[in-house]
Amino acid sequence: MGMSVTISAATEADAEQILKLQYLCYQSEAQLYGDYSIEPLTQSLDSVRAELARGSVLVARLGDEVVASVRGTVDADGTARINKLIVHPRMQRHGLGGRLLAAIESDLAGPGTAKRYQLFTGHRSEHNLRLYRKHGYAQVSQQRVDDRLTLVTLAKDAEAGAFATSA
């Protein structure tokens, strides 16, 4: 009988596994944009620990192994910022990213908390863009970072599902 993947809140003990998984997962993004100096590849263990202490961090486990993770915080204006959604390459394309996205939205929701969800990805990251659109996110802005990268920001309303944008 195979093991099932469970999603739970991350603990400080998970920080090192999260950082190693993040390093593995962001290799393809770095290659896609020709930039290996991106923050997820240069982030320190202390910085990951600080994120664990100040926001919501979820992990997906297969047995004792962390195979996916996502982080989120809610700003004073009610915007839940979701970031660093990562899934081990061998676990991708099985719905785990969508499960984690739904779990972090649920974790950040509640009375007086998230009014809208917002996240971003690079313009060439088609798998990410497809996943976010499938889960009700719509593009709200683009920011050109340099010749190689344009960040695409997507959002949705916490109540209604899709975020209303002005065309």
C-alpha dist (Å) from residue 127 to 24, 54, 123: 17, 29, 10
pTM: 0.90
Residue 98 lies in a domain: yes
The pLDDT tens digits for 112-125 are 688 999 999 999 99
CA 163 to chain centroid, in Å, comes to 18
pLDDT at 164: 41
As for how many domains the chain has, the answer is 1
Domain with 94, as residue range(s), is 5-117
Quote the pLDDT of residue 2: 58
Average pLDDT, rounded, for the chain: 91
Domain contains 131: no
